[in-house]
Amino acid sequence: MTAEKKKFRDPMAFVRGADEDRPETQVPIQDDTPQKPESPAVQSAREAVDAPRPPEKTASRQKAPETKSPFPWDDAHPKVKAQFTLRLPERVHKQLEYLAEHSPDSMHTIAIAGVEAEIRKRLRDLGIGV
């Protein structure tokens, strides 16, 4: 080996604070590109953003949003599908498979029809008409 070894900088030196006594080496970048004048729309938008705003109300003073309906499903979007994993006993699963194989309906269609019927029944038992 030669006497002149290249000295490699420790990549973790900044974590250990070895570079604390080094002078700042970053130089601010000066932007010399000519700026285009802002359009009136941009100027009004900038003024709207920079305009003073009234102080925001604290959480304790804010009212809860008023809902139009008493039930959470009343404002549900009809095209949005939510997933729910259902664990069936093997016997029920095989019966469902059999029904799907021997009818024009899928397992999903049969299961959703049963779930919807049971939900309607239970809501009716609670005095809620659906």
Question: pLDDT for 60-83, tens place per residue?
Answer: 555 555 556 688 888 889 899 999
Asked if the structure places residue 78 within a domain, the reply is: no
**Over the stretch 11-20, which tens digit does the pLDDT of each residue have?**
666 666 655 5
- Averaged pLDDT, 113-119: 94
Handedness of CA 112, 116, 119, 121 (dihedral sign): negative
The range of the structural domain enclosing residue 113 comes to 92-120
**Over the stretch 49-58, which tens digit does the pLDDT of each residue have?**
666 766 666 5
Cα–chain center distance at 60:
26
pLDDT for position 100: 95
Position 10 pLDDT exceeds 60: yes
Handedness of CA 59, 60, 63, 64 (dihedral sign): positive
Q: Give the whole-angstrom CA distance, residue 9 versus residue 19.
A: 11
Position 110 pLDDT exceeds 90: yes
Asked if the structure places residue 5 within a domain, the reply is: no
Asked if the structure places residue 113 within a domain, the reply is: yes
Asked if the structure places residue 104 within a domain, the reply is: yes
Q: Which two structure tokens, joined as six digits, stand for 50?
A: 């920079």
How many domains, in total, are found in the chain? 1
pLDDT for position 107: 94
pLDDT for position 120: 93
Q: Which two structure tokens, joined as six digits, stand for 59?
A: 């959480």
Element holding 34 (H helix, E strand) = none
